[in-house]
Amino acid sequence: MPINAHKAMVIAKKEFADHLTSPVFLSFAVTFTITILAWSYVKGMEVDYTSNVLGMPDLMRGFKGMAMVVGRFAPVIGIVMGFDSIVKEIRSSSMNVLLTHPVFRDNIIAGKIIGSSMCILLTLIISINIAAGVMLIVSGMPVTIQYLTRIEIFVMLTFFYSLFFLAISVLISTIVNKSNISLLYNIAIWLVFTILFAQLIFSSTYVLTNDVQAANSQTLSLLNFVPGHHYVLVSAGMQDVVRESFDDFPKIAGVFDTGYTLFEWLSEFWTNLIVLIVSPIIVLILSFIVFLRRDITL
């Protein structure tokens, strides 16, 4: 049965409105915005130092720092949006009530994903643009079309990165039977793949080989399976969201490297962009399949 766009959008609008009135979402959105706003203000104040001492052009270091901070915490937006999106409906029996109306399962999950995605995008547009604007104003740098374009590209990169964790959280919410279990699994995935992955691989490889170069090489190789690696690579020219100690840097330091055109940036990172965009789509398709086959009776 093909998805009914009208019915899916009705559900999406309700999901969007529910998130905007959720105390959990609002508290996290405010905390997230304040965190990157404070970071951006500090980096804006340091622009003279970064330009004259470190030799980094314009606000390059400030934007790189923003990318790493956002990279650590943006996945939590996706988790907050999706960890109980399905299991809560099933546990409360509202899913059964909803299915008594002329609406099919594919419309339900499509609407929920669209509504949550819209909420994530709105949060990122507001928080990142405010933070970047404050950084530019505090530093005294002119607000140019080039900066604005790169900031909006960064917003979209962050959106696809967050969308991957939304897809994971919806998938887990479809499989498990309790919201708290779903949240626990999602937090564990976030901690491992965003905060701990590189350090765990590096430490274990170093213990086995006692070779720093081999440990670095193995870690960089396995990071290709982590969405955060591709995100910070295209955003800031870094290999990992947390670790900055890798010696392997691309020639273009991400989307904010104004020494290169956006076409050159795209040519350098097109494979990473494909991974960043395709990864959430694959997991979302898997979520659809699992939900359509899920026994939702209690």
Q: Is residue 67 part of a domain?
A: yes
pLDDT in tens, 110-133: 888 999 999 999 999 999 999 888
Q: Is residue 188 part of a domain?
A: yes
The stretch 175-191 carries a mean pLDDT of: 89
Q: Is residue 31 part of a domain?
A: yes
pLDDT at 88 over 80: no
Q: How many domains does the chain have?
A: 1
Angle at 158 between CA 154 and CA 161, to 5 degrees: 145
Q: Long-range contacts: 5-9, Cβ < 8 Å, 24+?
A: 7/102, 7/103, 7/104, 7/107, 7/111, 8/107, 8/110, 8/111, 8/114, 9/111, 9/114
When pLDDT is cut at 50, 70 and 90, the band that residue 54 belongs to is: low
Q: Is residue 72 part of a domain?
A: yes
Range of the domain at 52: 5-194+280-293
Q: Is residue 246 part of a domain?
A: no
Q: Is residue 180 part of a domain?
A: yes
* pLDDT score for 92: 62
Q: Is residue 264 part of a domain?
A: no
* pLDDT score for 297: 58
Supply 89's token pair: 């409906």
Which of 86, 79, 104 is closest to 165 using CA atoms? 79
pLDDT in tens, 226-279: 888 899 999 988 887 776 666 667 888 889 888 889 999 999 999 999 999 999
* pLDDT score for 99: 56
| N- to C-terminal Cα separation, the chain | 25
CB 234 within 8 A of CB 270: no
Q: Is residue 257 part of a domain?
A: no
